[in-house]
Chain A
């Protein structure tokens, strides 16, 4: 498994608010996640989980507040700055894999090489190979994703998130499209990622929650339950 290029950052959220259409859809006054922890966000549909994940990843600008990963407040960065932060520090895993079905597993896992500086491409590709190997897909590196099962696809997506050696992983319902056996395996893999990395997962899956160091429940954009509290 590729080691993070930088030490896992702690996550510190302060006064975070996201407003849309004159309505507050996320309001987190304070939240701190220690470096290397695995945090699960859960809640009913519309509770603000995905909004939270998008703000924490810098894909969505906050209306107010701070989202500090280590020493970097990404809420204060420009869109280009947040993009740079994402590609250099974060690994993302999506519910519906978001893979290029026409490409092979390795080409998907090493996707970021396409925009990386030339000098970093061989290392990134080697990291993608190692990640696929670690996730049990070493022999399937050249297989097209289109012919892979859901579990295999999600592992390819995980390998892609790891190939850039991120210091934090953010995942949105990564087991939602998988059967039980594959979901359990992915939950194990996610848990294994924590430690060297900070992991934030949106999930309703008890198997994922059981492996997390902390579980937070959101409702109407606010934290209503915190296993640490």
Chain B
């Protein structure tokens, strides 16, 4: 038997889910044309019909937005972790190292030494080893220190301006609240605990804006790693020349920017004057090499992780929450189904005279069933369609809010799981609508002309 493509499998499942509802409709409506009667009923109960439609739409939209948003979040975080083949940090929490490096979440990580960095960079298969330094901020945006090479690996050439080429220069992420030419005075630390004046005298000149990456780095201010070391009064990984010694010894009041402007940036670094970094991002030649690098650098004095794998573990742990969300969405849909069916039973009672007329005229019992069911079916189908529309709008709004709050570009969209949810929900409701319709039909046994 030929294997089905994923598309064919999803399409078949959608068809299988919707089929019971369609078959029910085909059997009930076969041979009849109840629409004029249903149209009259809808016009008479327009307010109630709209209310039921809205109820169905909102319940469905909530479920769709929840599931699509959760998937969008997972995909967005995976995209954000994609440029980080292997991440090396001092032994500790893999999750904390990943969150700090990929998502720029504040964390206090132990440092890797210069000797360790040199070993990492020299490991076979490592095409690029970039130190990552963080912990400072500017106007709420994280200030990250690394190399120009890693910035190019992460975001490509700047969308505007040029890469940083000196200590006092910075490039900003696509969404960072700075423009080329801005002067930035970074604060020590992040958030409310940030000390605005700890780095007084250190000014960063914005020379470039990066292309969007969809990750938290889009809101960052990226500087040479040496700049961070300078700001914290640490050695800068490059041997000091005699002139530099002289400046430092005898000219303390001199402007920091001017002092360090001419100092080199980027590799190679001198092991003895390398002050340490919390994490090192590694780009490998090929996928197979990444496994070798991780294996080689997973040692007692350091840990190497695949950020994508750590993220997957995190998602797996959060799977329970996802399941809870799904159950809640299903429960809300179930409750709405029950409420709508109970409501429809009451609405049908409003049309007792119309149903009595149909019975008195000799309309077949199944026609009464067709009218009752068709009335409910129109509300269900309209509610489902409206629900999809609401969900699309809701996803846009929710993605925008979540993207802003989480710093990653979340793009939620309707996918097959949502199509299956709509198909299953509508089908189930169409089947359940048989209950009030059947009750209405049975109630038609006693009718009269007067």
- Does the CB pair A114–B37 fall under 8 Å? yes
Closest to B44 in A: A102
Question: Which residues of chain B are within 8 angstroms of A83 by Cβ–Cβ distance?
Answer: 359, 362-365
Q: Is A170 an interface residue (CB 8 A)?
A: yes
- Does the CB pair A114–B367 fall under 8 Å? yes
Q: Is A141 an interface residue (CB 8 A)?
A: no
Find residues 128-153 in chain B having any chain A CB closer than 8 Å to their own CB.
Answer: none
- Does the CB pair B448–A118 fall under 8 Å? no
Which of A59, A88, A121, A173 is the one whose CB lies under 8 Å from B360?
Answer: A59
- Does the CB pair A86–B362 fall under 8 Å? yes
- Does the CB pair A90–B362 fall under 8 Å? yes
- Does the CB pair B363–A115 fall under 8 Å? yes
Question: Which residues of chain A are within 8 angstroms of B357 by Cβ–Cβ distance?
Answer: 94, 98
Find residues 16-50 in chain B having any chain A CB closer than 8 Å to their own CB.
Answer: 31-37, 39-40, 43-44
- Does the CB pair A114–B33 fall under 8 Å? yes
Question: Which residues of chain A are within 8 angstroms of B367 by Cβ–Cβ distance?
Answer: 114-115
- Does the CB pair A59–B449 fall under 8 Å? yes
Q: Is A111 an interface residue (CB 8 A)?
A: yes
Closest to A80 in B: B365
CA distance A23 to B370 in the complex (A): 37
Which of A57, A101, A107 is the one whose CB lies under 8 Å from B36?
Answer: A107
- Asked if A114 meets B32 with Cβ closer than 8 Å, knowing A100-B37, A202-B450, the reply is yes
Residue with the highest number of chain A CB atoms closer than 10 Å, among B39, B361, B364 = B361
Which of B361, B447, B449 is the one whose CB lies under 8 Å from A87?
Answer: B361
- Asked if A92 meets B361 with Cβ closer than 8 Å, knowing A50-B449, A54-B448, A118-B31, the reply is yes
CA distance A100 to B444 in the complex (A): 18
- Does the CB pair B354–A100 fall under 8 Å? yes
CA distance A50 to B447 in the complex (A): 12
By DSSP majority rule, is chain B's interface helix, strand, loop, or mixed?
helix
Q: Is A199 an interface residue (CB 8 A)?
A: no
Q: Is A213 an interface residue (CB 8 A)?
A: no
- Does the CB pair B448–A60 fall under 8 Å? yes
Q: How far is the CB of A74 from chain B (nearest CB, A)?
A: 11
Q: How far is the CB of A219 from chain B (nearest CB, A)?
A: 18
Question: Which residues of chain A are within 8 angstroms of B449 by Cβ–Cβ distance?
Answer: 50, 53-54, 57, 59, 92, 94, 170, 172
Q: Is A117 an interface residue (CB 8 A)?
A: yes
CA distance A196 to B46 in the complex (A): 43
Residue with the highest number of chain B CB atoms closer than 10 Å, among A59, A86, A88, A107 = A59
Q: Is B445 an interface residue (CB 8 A)?
A: yes
- Asked if A86 meets B360 with Cβ closer than 8 Å, knowing A50-B450, A103-B40, A172-B450, the reply is yes
- Does the CB pair A92–B360 fall under 8 Å? yes
CA distance A60 to B449 in the complex (A): 9
Interface residues on A, range: 35 or more
Q: Is B353 an interface residue (CB 8 A)?
A: yes
Q: Is A135 an interface residue (CB 8 A)?
A: no
Question: Which residues of chain A are within 8 angstroms of B445 by Cβ–Cβ distance?
Answer: 79
Closest to B37 in A: A114
- Does the CB pair A87–B363 fall under 8 Å? yes
- Does the CB pair B362–A88 fall under 8 Å? yes
- Does the CB pair B43–A102 fall under 8 Å? yes
Q: Is A63 an interface residue (CB 8 A)?
A: no
Q: B339-380 CB contact bits vs A (8 Å, 1 = yes)?
A: 000000000000001100101111111010000000000000
Q: Is A140 an interface residue (CB 8 A)?
A: no
Q: Is A7 an interface residue (CB 8 A)?
A: no
Which of B33, B36, B353, B448 is the one whose CB lies under 8 Å from A59?
Answer: B448
Q: A80-119 CB contact bits vs B (8 Å, 1 = yes)?
A: 1001111110101011001011110001000111110110
- Does the CB pair A113–B33 fall under 8 Å? yes
Q: How far is the CB of A163 from chain B (nearest CB, A)?
A: 11
- Does the CB pair A111–B36 fall under 8 Å? yes
Q: How far is the CB of B157 from chain A (nearest CB, A)?
A: 66
- Does the CB pair A111–B33 fall under 8 Å? no
Q: B434-450 CB contact bits vs A (8 Å, 1 = yes)?
A: 00000000000101111
- Does the CB pair B37–A111 fall under 8 Å? yes
Q: Considering the complex of A and B, which 7 residue pairs feature the smallest CB-CB distances, nearest first? A: A87-B362, A86-B362, A50-B450, A102-B43, A100-B40, A102-B40, A115-B367
> Can you show 9 pairs from A to B with CB atoms below 8 A apart?
A79-B445, A83-B362, A85-B362, A98-B353, A102-B39, A103-B36, A111-B361, A114-B33, A115-B364
16 additional A-B pairs beyond A50-B450, A60-B448, A80-B364, beta carbons within 8 Å, are: A50-B448, A54-B450, A59-B448, A79-B445, A83-B359, A83-B365, A86-B360, A87-B362, A94-B360, A100-B37, A107-B36, A111-B37, A114-B32, A114-B36, A115-B33, A115-B363
